[in-house]
Amino acid sequence: MNGEQPLRKYQTLLLVGAGVFLSTMDSSMVNVALPFIMKSFGAPLRSIQWVVLIYLLSITVTLLFWGIVADRFGRFNTYLFGILIFLSASVGCALAPTLTTLIVLRFIEGLGAAMLMAAGPAIIRDVFPQHEIGRGLGLVGIATSAGLMSGPVVGGILISVFSWRAMFLACIPVGVLMMAGSVWVIRNGRSASVSASEPTFDWRGALLWALLIASLVLYAHFLPRLDLVWKMAGGGGLALLGFLFYLSETTRKSNILPLHLFPKSYYHIGLITASLSFAVLFGVLILMPFYLTHIKGLAANLVGLVMMAVPLTLFVVSPTAGMLYDRIGSRFLTTLGLSVSTLALLLLSAIDQTTGLLPIFIALAMLGMGQSMFLAPNTASLLSRIPEVDAGVTSGLLATSRNLGMLAGAAFGSMIFAAWFGYFSAGEELSSFRPDLSGPFISSLRGTLLCTAALSALNAVSYTHLRAHET
């Protein structure tokens, strides 16, 4: 390899990392800005929450589609258009005159972010040799963690000095540099275009997939507030959509999903465990801030510092995990990562009113360590073993699996906690929390975290067993 090729390799890594950083920072900044957006438009929380929800919905629904587009029309081309759409929508968000306009533009912004997420890992797979894919993805993990950590800080400063609108303009300098970098890479022969293996696009399957995923996301979001009849009706509707999608995919030659890969054990194992891993993680991330606020009485800034244990550990461990994958493979690292996550959850399930902040921080750091040891090796294992033509769609499927895991973890974690809290407090709601409800709160939290630990343990045991019998 000549000297120019390694240079381009790491320039491309910087480009992909910048996109990941931009999308994750944007997401974490907006969460901080919600109270200020609410005040600006004078809208209720049920309306304001769509500023976050629509972004996640847009990404989750379209990830697979953009992965296919990247495979067929070039991954760098898709990445470039993703940057352009993201930047344009961000500027629009900063200038949005109404809440409705802001929500629509956040949907468009999510389309751009989804293009970056779908094409990015596939680009790493293209430009890094197989024995360095883990290192490349591990380094991208640094950008993910940096975005998550810096978002609340940068957002808080911009809101304090200017307003919430300035937050959406913060991405412009990085985005412009990314566009210039993408154009440079494309002009220097790294477009990574892949010709279509199928003559037609599965529009029917794409539509049914979008409807299925969108319905699943919305069902998970509203599930805690639905009565039994609507829960059953929603579940039946999802089952019907799933069956129609199955029929569509199995009765035609051109498919939106790479059906030829799903029978391979490493493929479906990697997707399922990725989803369950993120479900476990986000179940904790949703509940622990309530414990730190209601039980420990911490201010919002201190809550953020304690919760930073997870992205901080991801920042430190991800590149190491990636490099270790290149040396020893994925099986040991991923199994160890899932096991460490389970141990961390067991430690968290033992907390009470008197537990110090240091043990909590250490347990959260262990959870982040376990996730880091699993994420990059699992992704690298999948992308290194598939044909080049399927790299984009697989990246999209992985990202979709993780997003669905996040939604499931947040929804079901909240639902289980609410059920426990209602039982222990004789029907009280968390919104009416009082100091005398600390006991029921702790019991509910410990019960929910034990359920989460059980799910993590099941994920680890199942993964280990299936990998041992992998064909």
Statement: residue 365 has pLDDT above 80:
yes
Q: Give tens-digit pLDDT for 337-353.
A: 888 999 999 999 898 88
| pLDDT more than 70, % of the chain | 75
Confidence band, pLDDT 50/70/90 cuts, at residue 69: confident
Which is it for the CA torsion 248, 252, 255, 259, positive or negative?
A: positive
Distance CA(110)–CA(258), nearest Å, equals 24
Statement: residue 3 has pLDDT above 50:
no
* CATH hierarchy code of domain 1-189: 1.20.1250.20
- Residue 395's nearest CA partner among 290, 310, 292, 274 is 274
Distance CA(118)–CA(114), nearest Å, equals 6
Dihedrals phi, psi of 382, to nearest 5 degrees: -65, -50
pLDDT at 192: 46
Q: Give tens-digit pLDDT for 81-122.
A: 888 888 889 889 989 899 889 999 999 998 888 888 777 777
What are the tokens at 210?
A: 């979008």
> What DSSP state is assigned to residue 432?
G
Statement: residue 33 has pLDDT above 90:
no
Distance CA(55)–CA(59), nearest Å, equals 6
pLDDT at 10: 67
Statement: residue 59 has pLDDT above 60:
yes
Q: What is the mean pLDDT of the chain?
A: 76
pLDDT at 293: 77
What are the tokens at 328?
A: 């020893």
Q: What is the mean pLDDT of residues 263-274?
A: 77
Domain segments of the chain: what residues?
Answer: 1-189, 203-256, 258-471
Dihedrals phi, psi of 352, to nearest 5 degrees: -145, -165
Confidence band, pLDDT 50/70/90 cuts, at residue 320: confident
Q: Give tens-digit pLDDT for 277-314.
A: 888 887 787 778 778 878 888 776 677 678 778 878 87
Confidence band, pLDDT 50/70/90 cuts, at residue 464: confident
Distance CA(363)–CA(342), nearest Å, equals 10
pLDDT at 224: 64
Statement: residue 188 has pLDDT above 60:
no
| pLDDT more than 90, % of the chain | 5
pLDDT at 256: 65
Most confident range, picked from 43-47, 232-236, 387-391: 232-236
* CATH hierarchy code of domain 258-471: 1.20.1250.20
In the chain, the largest separation of any two C-alpha atoms, in whole Å, equals 71
Is 258-471 the same fold as 1-189? yes
Distances from the Cα of 119 to the Cαs of 20, 64, 129, 230, in angstroms? Answer: 11, 10, 17, 37
pLDDT at 388: 67
Question: In which residue are the tokens 């680890």 written?
Answer: 460
pLDDT at 353: 86
Q: What is the mean pLDDT of residues 224-237?
A: 78
pLDDT at 185: 59
Distances from the Cα of 274 to the Cαs of 227, 232, 294, 433, in angstroms? Answer: 30, 27, 31, 34
CA geometry: angle at 68 spanning 65 and 73, to 5°? Answer: 120
Distance CA(87)–CA(154), nearest Å, equals 18
pLDDT at 362: 92
Q: Give tens-digit pLDDT for 398-455.
A: 777 777 787 777 767 777 887 887 787 777 766 566 787 888 888 888 888 998 888 8
DSSP string, 21-52: HHHHHHHHHHHHHHHHHHHHHT--HHHHTHHH
Judged by DSSP in three states, 96 sits in coil
Distances from the Cα of 341 to the Cαs of 85, 214, 403, 432, in angstroms? Answer: 36, 29, 19, 32
